[in-house]
Structure 1
């Protein structure tokens, strides 16, 4: 039995289900397993962890399909004009996503829902669902596995998160290149993979989540979308976007350091130079695609936010964003956002320190490489 067949068998056995739905996920799964086995240089713990994570994704996909078979009316749900955050990672997008999620009139993907979307959440129990406690224990466990990650990317069971995991149900996600050294998979994903089925599956999961747990005004965020913007637009043609910006010399080394922190948990042989170039490559590729998309008649769908002024005063930017959307910023929403800001200081888990040179990154050359981006959006170099 092949490795992929064995993982599929384990998922079926674990879930007591056998229908994975459409086969679009299989190519990505096969390419990922092949790349991990040949390239990732996993430790024994890493090998076990990889198999467990793949099986967990497959089980969740089986459960999503099971709920659709039980309740085909779920597919009648509509995802209308979502607001999607994108741009480069490490630009303040997580903080903005958390602030926007405080509005009680909107919906986001919460960490516990990303980990276990089935059974679909219900309004009556969305704040007492037992999965919240399970997810919080997992967050604490990950803090032990990745001790520096909280300073880079704070997390809790109830805070909003990206759709990377749902993209993982189709096995086309930057989640995998961030967790394991898989250069052949990363090349295929970023240059050749068809992400339209992936985004259709993300929409499938969003329909499931809102079915019994409104509201239906989605606030989503995922920096990876910049690489796949055309596919995203095909599936969500009425989406509008906010885009955060920051000095590239702060962005790329920070992305590389985050990747390194994740990858070294499963491998004792981490190639930092590879991580540095991978981080720069996909960010450059994605930003060139995104600028082309904006310049092709889509610029009016975007609201831009710069890192430094946002850090000083996020509420001015948020008020302008609501004006851009043509939506009222309610008093309760603003009070909750202000409370989140007050209770979540930026450096509550310590400062994030890194050295670009550790990843083979020359900051002068990097800024020159990304001049097309910084000049387009007027991004200043920060100290």
Structure 2
């Protein structure tokens, strides 16, 4: 039996379901498995993690398609004018997303429902769903395996999360290279993959989550959006964008170190130079494509946020963002946001320390490579 067939059969056996939906996902799956098998240098734990992640995503896909088959009215849901947070990673976008998610008038994708979207959540039990506790246990296991993750990405089961995993249900996502050394897959993803079907699948999942659990004013966040902004725009043509900015010397090495922490359990020979290279490439492609998109008549759809002033006091910026959106910044929303910020101080779990040189990354080189970006958006250079 083929590798792909075996993985699919495991998902079928675990769910009792058979319909994976549109077969277009197979190209990404086949490329991922080929790259992982040939290039990832997996140890035994890594092999189990690699196969287990793929089977899990296939299972979720089967469950999603089953709900749509039994309830075709889900597809009648509309995703209207979402706000999408994008830009380079490690630029304060996670904190921004969490703060935005405190507004009771908006909808975010939270960790527990992203990991387990089926059955689709219901408004009456949204804050008591048993999947919350399940996700909390999984996050404790993550903290045991990768203890520095708390410093890098402090998060809970109910925190807003990126839709990287949701993109993974179509097997076209950066979520895989964050944990595994897969250069040929990354090359295909960055340069040749068609992301429009994947973003359509993301919309399919959003409709499912919104169906029994409004509101429908979505706040989404994903650094990957930057690199595939043209495909994203085809699927969400009425989206507005919030772009976060920070000195690349404080960004690219931090992302490389985050990847390193996630790679370590899966291989006995983490490839630090590749982790540096792949994140420089991602950043360069993302910012080049983003600037081209903005300069092609889309600049008015963007609201820009710089890291240091937002970290110091986010509320003047948030008030301007709500004005940009034409929405009311209610006292209740502001009070909840202030409470979240007080309970989640920066470096709550310790400061994230890293050395860019370990990944072949040097401040002067990075600033020169990304000069086109920092000058375009007047990004301050220096420690923050």
- Is 1:22 the counterpart of 2:22? The answer is yes
- Is 1:179 the counterpart of 2:206? The answer is no
Q: Residue 136 of structure 1 corresponds to which residue in structure 2?
A: 136
- Is 1:340 the counterpart of 2:337? The answer is no
TM-score by length of 2: 0.99
Q: Residue 273 of structure 1 corresponds to which residue in structure 2?
A: 273
Q: Residue 205 of structure 1 corresponds to which residue in structure 2?
A: 205
1:363 deviates by: 1.3
Mapped partners of 1:91, 1:82: distance in 2: 20
1:87 deviates by: 0.3
Q: Residue 45 of structure 2 corresponds to which residue in structure 1?
A: 45
1:68 deviates by: 0.3
Mapped partners of 1:378, 1:115: distance in 2: 37
1:191 deviates by: 0.4
Q: Residue 299 of structure 1 corresponds to which residue in structure 2?
A: 299
Q: Residue 237 of structure 1 corresponds to which residue in structure 2?
A: 237
Question: Any idea what the Cα deviations from partners look like across 1:215-256, whole Å, max 9, x if unmatched?
Answer: 000000000111110000000000000010000100000010
Q: Residue 101 of structure 2 corresponds to which residue in structure 1?
A: 101
Q: Residue 326 of structure 1 corresponds to which residue in structure 2?
A: 326
Mapped partners of 1:309, 1:367: distance in 2: 21
1:117 deviates by: 0.1
Q: Residue 166 of structure 2 corresponds to which residue in structure 1?
A: 166
1:362 deviates by: 1.8
Question: Any idea what the Cα deviations from partners look like across 1:74-108, whole Å, max 9, x if unmatched?
Answer: 00000000000000000000000000000000000
Structure 1 segment 40-119 matched on structure 2, within 5 A: 40-119=40-119
Mapped partners of 1:323, 1:376: distance in 2: 24
Mapped partners of 2:105, 2:161: distance in 1: 18
Give the SS at the match of 1:178: coil
Question: Any idea what the Cα deviations from partners look like across 1:262-291, whole Å, max 9, x if unmatched?
Answer: 011101111101100111111111110000
1:154 deviates by: 0.8
Mapped partners of 1:256, 1:294: distance in 2: 27
Question: Any idea what the Cα deviations from partners look like across 1:131-182, whole Å, max 9, x if unmatched?
Answer: 0000000011101111101100111100100000110010000001111000
Give the SS at the match of 2:251: helix
1:109 deviates by: 0.2
Question: Any idea what the Cα deviations from partners look like across 1:111-135, whole Å, max 9, x if unmatched?
Answer: 0001100000000100110000000
TM-score by length of 1: 1.00
Give the SS at the match of 1:179: coil
1:382 deviates by: 1.2
Two-structure CA RMSD over aligned residues (Å): 0.5
Question: Any idea what the Cα deviations from partners look like across 1:307-334, whole Å, max 9, x if unmatched?
Answer: 0000001111111100000100011100
1:337 deviates by: 0.1
Mapped partners of 1:320, 1:254: distance in 2: 29
- Is 1:262 the counterpart of 2:262? The answer is yes
Q: Residue 353 of structure 2 corresponds to which residue in structure 1?
A: 353
Mapped partners of 1:121, 1:271: distance in 2: 40
Instruction: State the aligned residue count.
Output: 383
Gaps of 5+ in 1: none
Give the SS at the match of 1:176: coil
Q: Residue 216 of structure 2 corresponds to which residue in structure 1?
A: 216
Give the SS at the match of 1:143: helix
Q: Which ranges of 4 or more aligned residues in structure 1 deviate by more than 3 Å?
A: none
Give the SS at the match of 1:177: coil
Mapped partners of 2:220, 2:143: distance in 1: 24
1:371 deviates by: 0.1
Gaps of 5+ in 2: none
Mapped partners of 1:225, 1:375: distance in 2: 21
